């Protein structure tokens, strides 16, 4: 039996896609190891995937929330979080090296974990890219200015890789591309959502989204009772953008007041610390870790931060969106939703107010039928792609 390993660091959204991929590869007959933070042991093992702890035993979501909460600037808070995670990745290299030994293939996740170690061991690799902006336009004839900007981005992207290379006495690389697979880069995004860049090399493949419709989730009686007591609710899911600061309490106030004034019933996910002493009206309920594969199906529409996972889930499960992007890649995902007319115009986090939330809800209500229809149509197309099957097939062509 061929052995595959993959490693990832970060919040649940950084782990979930690889649980889906691991399960699909196991179903196809491969032996799979998924290495990540010790705090995700239960999440991974509950899916039937072989788990290996990598890095310090910390509550990564709590730690990153604290880091983000210390900065009012969303961009700076994300950069600080990324630096924190990259230090963990650097410090975990020896563990990753040991877990790579004896494997037939290493899937290099979007965090680039395992790339250097696999290279040292001479093990073939496959890459996964979530943010298409990170894929080089190798087939494009670039002007001087484009080359200059591209060179700067490549140099920055190579820094974390070079820190790990230094551990093993290796020379630095100019670009992270130098340690990427020359065979295959999987992009788990639908071709019905994103047009393939004509300047990409053939190895860069849009497989379709990765998800599992067979996930079992049994909601508690309180949530079921709430759902049965009235119209379909709005779901507020800002994910890792719920910083749990005083500023976030004000943000929550804006949404609660906007829901009240527009007559929306609402399910609020996140803000757990803030909600402990927060008095929600009876038309709203707070929930913890509920799978989006179940939760978004219950929603009239979803207000979310446009992270990779939530953006994908709204389209997979046919839910229109009010996007509230906080940082650059989230703005890009928000534009994808707007382009497909499954979302209203994005509300930038820095400009958020009670009034523009109300306006966005009113716009959604006025255009809801067309947005819901578009969301359902794109959901059907996404399901027809069978993105996980395609990813496994492509990996199989390299393993045979």
> Is residue 60 helix, strand or coil?
helix
Crossing angle for the helix pair 144-167 and 74-91, to the nearest 10 degrees? 40
Closest alpha carbon to 256 in 303, 299, 310: 303
Residue 397 in domain: no
- Helix and strand totals (H; E) in the chain: 16, 12
Question: 214 lies in a domain?
Answer: no
Same domain, 80 and 119: yes
Sign of the C-alpha dihedral computed for residues 329, 335, 340 and 346 taken in this order: positive
Do residues 295 and 173 share a domain?
no
Asked if the structure places residue 125 within a domain, the reply is yes
The total number of structural domains in the chain stands at 2
Q: Are residues 180 and 245 in the same domain?
A: no
Same domain, 373 and 303: yes
Q: Do residues 189 and 72 both lie within one domain?
A: yes
Cα(51)–Cα(37) distance, rounded to whole angstroms? 10
- In this prediction the pTM is 0.90
Nearest to 7 by CA among 54, 48, 64, 59: 54
Are 285 and 200 part of one and the same domain?
A: no
* Domain carrying residue 59: 3-206
**Whether the Cβ atoms of residue 253 and residue 329 lie closer than 8 Å to each other:** no
Would residue 391 count as lying in a domain?
Answer: no
Domain end position, chosen among 172, 206, 240: 206
Residue that is last in its domain, among 141, 171, 206: 206
- Please provide the size of the chain in residues: 400
Q: Name the residue with tokens 């494009």.
A: 140
Per-residue tokens: 244: 């749990």
Tens of each residue's pLDDT in the chain, 400 residues: 999 999 999 888 889 999 999 999 999 999 999 999 999 999 999 999 999 999 999 888 777 766 665 555 555 656 677 778 888 999 999 999 999 999 999 999 998 899 999 999 999 999 999 988 888 888 788 777 766 666 666 777 788 899 999 999 999 998 888 889 999 999 999 999 999 999 999 999 999 999 987 667 889 999 999 999 999 999 999 875 555 556 578 889 999 999 999 999 999 998 877 788 888 999 999 998 888 999 999 999 999 999 899 999 999 999 999 999 887 678 889 999 999 999 999 998 888 999 999 999 999 999 999 999 999 999 999 999 999 999 999 999 998 7
- Is 216 inside any structural domain? no
- Let me know whether 159 and 26 are in one domain: yes
Quick one: 44 and 115 in the same domain?
yes
Distance CA 252, CA 14 (A): 25
Same domain, 187 and 233: no
Is 236 a domain residue?
yes
* 108 and 30 within one domain: yes
CATH number of the domain that 72 lies in?
3.40.50.2000
For residue 399, is it within any domain? no
Residue with tokens 């829901």: 259
Residue 211 domain-assigned?
no
């Amino acid at each position: 039996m061929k052995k595959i390993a993959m490693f990832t660091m970060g919040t649940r959204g950084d782990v979930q896609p690889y649980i889906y991929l691991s399960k699909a590869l196991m179903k196809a007959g491969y032996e799979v190891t998924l290495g990540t933070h010790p705090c995700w042991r239960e999440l991974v093992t509950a899916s039937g995937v072989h788990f290996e702890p990598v890095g310090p035993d910390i509550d990564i979501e709590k730690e990153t929330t604290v880091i983000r909460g210390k900065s009012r600037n969303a961009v700076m808070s994300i950069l600080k979080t990324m630096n924190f995670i990259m230090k963990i990745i650097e410090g975990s290299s020896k563990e990753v090296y040991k877990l790579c030994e004896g494997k037939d293939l290493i899937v290099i996740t979007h965090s680039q974990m395992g790339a250097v170690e696999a290279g040292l061991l001479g093990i073939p690799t496959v890459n996964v890219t979530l943010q298409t902006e990170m894929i080089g336009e190798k087939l494009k004839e670039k002007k001087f200015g484009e080359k200059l900007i591209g060179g700067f981005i490549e140099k920055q992207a190579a820094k974390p890789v070079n820190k790990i290379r230094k551990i093993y006495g290796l020379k630095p690389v100019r670009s992270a591309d130098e340690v990427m697979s020359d065979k295959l880069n999987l992009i788990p995004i639908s071709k019905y959502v994103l047009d393939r860049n004509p300047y990409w090399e053939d190895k860069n493949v849009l497989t379709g989204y990765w998800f599992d419709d067979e996930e079992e989730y049994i909601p508690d009686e309180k949530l079921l009772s709430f759902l049965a007591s009235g119209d379909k609710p709005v779901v507020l899911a800002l994910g890792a953008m719920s910083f749990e600061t005083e500023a976030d309490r004000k943000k929550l106030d804006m949404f609660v007041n906007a829901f009240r004034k527009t007559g929306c019933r609402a399910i609020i996910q996140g803000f757990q610390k803030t909600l402990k002493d927060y008095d929600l009206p009876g038309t709203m309920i707070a929930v913890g870790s509920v799978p989006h594969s179940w939760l978004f199906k219950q929603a009239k529409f979803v207000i979310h931060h446009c992270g990779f996972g939530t953006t994908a889930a709204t389209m997979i499960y046919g839910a229109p969106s009010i996007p509230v992007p906080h940082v650059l890649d989230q703005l890009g995902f928000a534009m994808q939703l707007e382009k497909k007319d499954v979302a209203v115009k994005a509300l930038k986090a820095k400009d958020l107010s009670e009034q523009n939330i109300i306006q966005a809800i009113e716009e959604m209500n006025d255009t809801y039928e067309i947005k819901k229809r578009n969301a359902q149509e794109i959901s059907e197309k996404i399901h027809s792609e069978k993105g996980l099957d395609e990813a496994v097939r492509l990996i199989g062509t390299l393993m045979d």
